[in-house]
């Protein structure tokens, strides 16, 4: 944007003002006559990568705009590795790691210390990793980082906080059928991956109740080693000084066993119409579900272009046809899913009034037929690629985004220049590529359909759709007797 030196810019300013008074119309171009100047070259700042001899990977991203520092350690090992009879263990671990405090400080004492500085230290548990992070004003960094290290090495998992975290999980379990979206998200995963698949299974009263403090300590002892950790830090610091500070903190830490990724089998979902009855709604949630692909799949680039034109943006086919064209839905979209190291969840979803449930389903069906049959026009393809390529700058317009991008590639063993590769590959995608991946990955006859809604008000019975209808029982298994005596939430 800054083409002219400012002195001349002021001259231009006055000139335009004068013109505007006499003939404003001449100065205004219709949108399609505006010629954008080229985007100035922008090289995002790359973080510094350091690998310590104990295997720990550090990324340092300098950013002096604001007097803040934030850091995250992502640690291999997550809920896909927890035992089936203790589903919820990682979530409890991720909560109680922080709230349970350290050997020398309770979680409550940590809260007082941190809140007085408007600082945060948080921990969390995810499907394939756990994390511990900090966020503070740069003047508080040393004190907050010392507390971060204390929590990393000496967590106490105090029992009262484990009980508190369990009570909160019991609450979530008790409420999980109140909301249509929470039902359809959960059941979609179960249908796609299988009830016992670690990516789909859900905590129950019994599995949460089974988790003990010893389980949390054991988890910590099993996974928290430098060779399982990717540590990223972003903010207003001197990189050399920070690097030596981090090396001093981490370099003498002994290696431990590498976290192992569990072997997980993925099977195609069984095509059927799965139905969940919910009588207190006037709108149905419809999901068409299949297993997707991994990002490392060479078809990933073509799939992402296909998703963009099919169910991605404000001008995708699903949005244009089912929302704007037919007025059938407020929420509609989806595409072939992709995961970093597992098949993603392919999901086409919409929410439509009870009285147009089957019509909505048929609408989605028709769009799939059309996607497979009709390759995109040159114009449609260009639009989809432009959507991705012209907004590419937003993938790396802040140093923090770049840092997180690199940490993700490192975690999943992708090349660190994967984003650049993505851009080059998307540029090459043709209409034939899109049509090929549509036929390869979008199979109506292979997809399972999930409907959550009030069938008393449907336009047609679900058995007219042509798929076997299977009622899904979402009754929440009651708490085990031991818990009933003690009472969840009781004192």
Partner 1 sequence: MKRCFAKLTFLLLLLAVALPLAAQDLASYEKRVSVKTLPNGLTVVLWQRPEAPVFSFFTLVDAGSAQDPLNKTGLAHMMEHMAFKGTPDIGTRDFAAEKGGLERVEQAYAAYETERSKPVGRDPQKLAQLQKAWQDAMKDADQYVIKNQFGEVVESHGGVGMNAFTSYDETGYMYSMPANEFELWAALESDRLQHPVMREFYKERSVVMEERRMRTDSQPVGRLIEQFLGTAFMANPYHRPTIGYASDLQNFSATDAAKFFQRYYVPSNMVIGLVGDLDPAQAFPIIERYFGRLSNTPKPEELHTEEPPQNSVRQVTLKDPAQPFYLEGYHRPNYLAPDDVVYEAISDILSNGRTSRMYRSLVRDKKIAAAAAGFSDWPGIKYGHLFAFYAVPLPGHTTDEMQKAVQEEVVKLKTQDVTDDELQMFKTRTKADLIRGLASNEGLAQELATYQTRYGDWRELFRYLDRVDKVTKADVRRVANQVFSDTNRTLGVIQTQMASGQPAGATKGAE
Binding positions for partner 1, 380-409, rule CB under 8 A = 382-383, 386-387, 390-394, 397-398, 400
CB of 159 to partner 1, least distance (A): 13
User: Applying CB under 8 A, what is the total number of residues that bind partner 1?
Assistant: 105
**CB closer to partner 1, 468 vs 478:** 478
481 in contact with partner 1 (CB under 8 A): no
**209 within 8 A of 471, measured Cβ to Cβ:** no
Report the run of H or E that residue 306 belongs to, with start and end. helix 300-307
Contacts of partner 1 in 256-295 (CB under 8 A)? 277-283
**81 within 8 A of 160, measured Cβ to Cβ:** no
Taking CB under 8 A as the binding criterion, the range among 176-184, 225-233, 420-428, 431-439 that sits at the site for partner 1 is 176-184
CB of 325 to partner 1, least distance (A): 6
Could you tell me where the beta strands, DSSP code E, fall in 207-360?
229-235, 273-277, 283-291, 293-294, 332-335, 338-339, 345-353
474 in contact with partner 1 (CB under 8 A): yes
Angle (deg, nearest 10), helices 89-99 and 107-115: 60
- Dihedral through CA 438, CA 371, CA 339, CA 97, nearest 10? -170
CB of 227 to partner 1, least distance (A): 32
Map residues 78-97 to x or -, x wherever contact with partner 1 holds by CB under 8 A. --------------------
CB of 142 to partner 1, least distance (A): 13
Q: How many CB atoms lie within 10 A of CB 7?
A: 7
Q: How far is CA 427 from CA 44, 295, 382, in A?
A: 20, 17, 10
In whole angstroms, give the CA distance from residue 368 to residue 114. Answer: 52
CB of 208 to partner 1, least distance (A): 12
Q: How many CB atoms lie within 10 A of CB 239?
A: 13
The pair of structure tokens assigned to 364 is: 């989605």
Map residues 337-376 to x or -, x wherever contact with partner 1 holds by CB under 8 A. --------------xxx-----------------------
CB of 108 to partner 1, least distance (A): 8
Taking CB under 8 A as the binding criterion, the range among 250-258, 416-424, 460-468, 469-477 that sits at the site for partner 1 is 469-477
- Dihedral through CA 407, CA 413, CA 419, CA 424, nearest 10? 170
C-alpha distance across the termini of the chain, in Å: 63
Neighbouring-strand partners of residue 349? 287, 333
What are the residues whose beta carbons fall under 8 Å from the beta carbon of 264, sequence distance 6 or more? Answer: 80, 197, 198, 199, 342
Contacts of partner 1 in 21-40 (CB under 8 A)? 24, 27-32, 34, 36-40
66 in contact with partner 1 (CB under 8 A): yes
Which of 197, 315, 408, 430 contacts partner 1 by CB under 8 A? 315
Which of 257, 262, 327, 366 contacts partner 1 by CB under 8 A? 327
**CB closer to partner 1, 112 vs 267:** 112
Which of 53, 154, 252, 324 contacts partner 1 by CB under 8 A? 324
CB of 374 to partner 1, least distance (A): 17
Q: Which residue has the tokens 């700058």?
A: 393
**CB closer to partner 1, 79 vs 351:** 351
420 in contact with partner 1 (CB under 8 A): no
CB of 404 to partner 1, least distance (A): 14
Contacts of partner 1 in 149-168 (CB under 8 A)? 164, 167-168
**CB closer to partner 1, 164 vs 217:** 164
Which of 49, 50, 105, 138 contacts partner 1 by CB under 8 A? 138
**CB closer to partner 1, 383 vs 460:** 383
DSSP 184-244: HHHHHHHHHH-TTSTTT----HHHHHT--HHHHHHHHHHH-SGGGEEEEEEESS-HHHHHH
């Amino acid at each position: 944007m800054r083409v002219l030196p400012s002195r001349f810019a002021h001259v231009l300013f006055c000139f335009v003002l004068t013109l505007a008074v006499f003939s404003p119309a001449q100065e205004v171009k219709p949108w399609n006559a505006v010629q954008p100047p080229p985007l100035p070259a922008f090289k995002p700042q790359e973080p510094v990568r350091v690998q310590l001899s104990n295997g720990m990977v550090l990324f340092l991203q300098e950013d002096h705009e604001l007097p803040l520092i934030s850091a995250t350690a992502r640690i291999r090992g997550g809920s896909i590795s927890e035992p089936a009879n203790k589903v919820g263990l990682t979530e409890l671990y991720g909560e109680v790691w922080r709230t349970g405090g350290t050997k020398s400080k309770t979680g409550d004492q940590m809260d007082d210390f941190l809140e007085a500085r408007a600082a945060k230290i948080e921990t969390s548990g995810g499907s394939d990793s756990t994390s511990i992070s900090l966020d503070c004003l740069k003047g508080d960094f040393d004190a907050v980082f010392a507390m971060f290290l204390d929590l990393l090495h000496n967590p106490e998992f105090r029992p009262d906080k484990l009980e508190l975290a369990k009570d909160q999980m019991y609450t979530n379990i008790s409420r999980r059928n109140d909301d249509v979206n929470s039902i359809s998200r959960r059941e979609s995963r179960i249908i796609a991956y299988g009830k016992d698949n670690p990516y789909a299974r859900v905590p129950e009263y019994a599995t949460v109740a089974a988790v003990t403090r010893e389980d949390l300590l054991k988890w910590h002892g099993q996974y928290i080693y430098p060779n399982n950790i990717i540590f990223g830090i972003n903010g207003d610091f001197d990189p050399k000084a920070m690097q030596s500070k981090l090396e001093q903190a981490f370099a003498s830490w002994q290696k431990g066993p590498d976290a192992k990724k569990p072997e997980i089998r993925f099977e195609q979902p069984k095509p059927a119409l799965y139905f969940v009855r919910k009588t207190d709604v006037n709108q149905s949630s419809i999901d068409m579900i299949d297993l997707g692909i991994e990002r490392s799949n060479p078809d990933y680039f073509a799939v992402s272009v296909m998703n963009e034109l099919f169910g991605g943006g404000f001008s995708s086919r699903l949005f244009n046809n089912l929302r704007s064209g037919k007025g059938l839905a407020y929420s509609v979209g989806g595409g072939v899913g992709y995961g970093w190291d597992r098949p993603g969840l392919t999901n086409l979803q919409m929410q439509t009034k009870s009285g147009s449930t089957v019509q909505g389903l048929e609408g989605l069906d028709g769009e799939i037929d059309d996607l497979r049959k009709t390759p995109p026009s040159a114009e449609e393809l260009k639009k989809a690629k432009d959507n991705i390529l012209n907004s590419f700058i937003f993938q790396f317009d802040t140093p923090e985004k770049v840092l997180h991008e690199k940490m993700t590639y490192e975690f999943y063993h992708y090349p660190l220049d994967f984003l650049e590769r993505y851009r080059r590959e998307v540029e090459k995608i043709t209409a034939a590529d899109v049509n090929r991946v549509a036929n390869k990955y979008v199979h109506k006859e292979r997809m399972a359909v999930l409907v959550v809604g009030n069938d008393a008000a449907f336009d047609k019975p679900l058995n007219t759709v042509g798929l076997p209808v299977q009622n899904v029982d979402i009754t929440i298994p009651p708490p085990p007797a031991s818990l009933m005596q003690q009472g969840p939430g009781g004192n």
